[in-house]
Amino acid sequence: MIIAIHSRDVTAEEALAEALGREISLDEGLTTEPGGTVVAQSNRLDHYTDEDETWSSATWADHLADPSLEHPLASGPDGDRRAILHVTAHMHPLDRELNHAEWSEIGYRIARVAGIAPPGDDQACQWIAVQAQPGRLDVIANLIRLDGTWSAQPRRLLQTLVAEARNIEADLLLHSSHRQDSARQDPAPGLGHVVFPRVPTATGPLAGILRQLAAEQSGPIAAVRQLVEEVGRQAASLPGDQTDAAARDLFWAARRLYGLQEQLGEIASRVQPPAPPAALAPARPVQARAASRVAVR
């Protein structure tokens, strides 16, 4: 799972349009029913809507922007008024298809660790989790709480979300939770620190070299993937449509590299030579047993 934090905005229109993969509209309804597009939402949503009412995507965008209009003086610690937070979780391309409840759990967990939905807090932020594109979940929130204060987020938000993504992968048995990584888990700081092993000449060393290449954190492909992810995060934090498009392309490139690592690991398991059969204990010589019987007599 790859986590991306987009640059904040004053409205939710662009974030929701990107989550849907199309422009928002007054004619397109987004439901919260099982199988619907909105898989999770803030716990006070029933105060704003009727059970039988289906909101359009434009209405959802207005709903997310409402706290900014109701509390025009609220701002972040740095005085920033851009209150719309947009977090995207990209699933691994080899992950199984998730059901509505699983997408919902991912949305709630991202919202909790991001500080926008503390458990039991009736004055927390307004937010929704949108699952409209394959292998992708978007969490969109207004950082201005219902009481007019700014939401307290983790100091290292991205690192916190990445750590929770690893927990989600393990809990939901997603693809990366089954990785077999016998290499060091020290993150590679750059390509200059990667040691490329020599090409092996037997199937045993061949499997070993493939496992090193497939190592999630310390292999040479991992170093490239981590650099691509980091550049993607930096691009996503910059203003402009072109940088947003570049960030999306970089995240997809990182996912393809991740898939390559998985494929190499699977090949390594196929070329690993079988373990040699257990050695049998040597039989005692017949003469020795006969001598033993004579000695007993």
**pLDDT value of residue 225:** 76
Q: Could you give the CA distance from residue 85 to residue 124 in angstroms, rounded to a whole number?
A: 14
d(CA 21, CA 3): 18
**Quick one: pLDDT at residue 181?**
35
Question: Which of the 8 DSSP states describes residue 2?
Answer: E
Dihedral class, residue 41 (left if φ above 0, else alpha if ψ from -120 to 50, else beta):
beta
Neighbours of 227 (CB within 10 A): 16
- Residue 111's nearest CA partner among 151, 81, 60 is 151
Q: Model-level pTM greater than 0.75?
A: no
Q: Which pLDDT belongs to residue 136?
A: 96
Query: What is the pLDDT at residue 194?
Result: 38
Q: What is the pLDDT of residue 46?
A: 57
Mean pLDDT by 10 residues, the chain (297 residues): 93 96 92 90 68 83 96 91 96 89 97 94 95 96 96 94 93 63 34 39 59 65 77 78 79 82 77 58 45 39
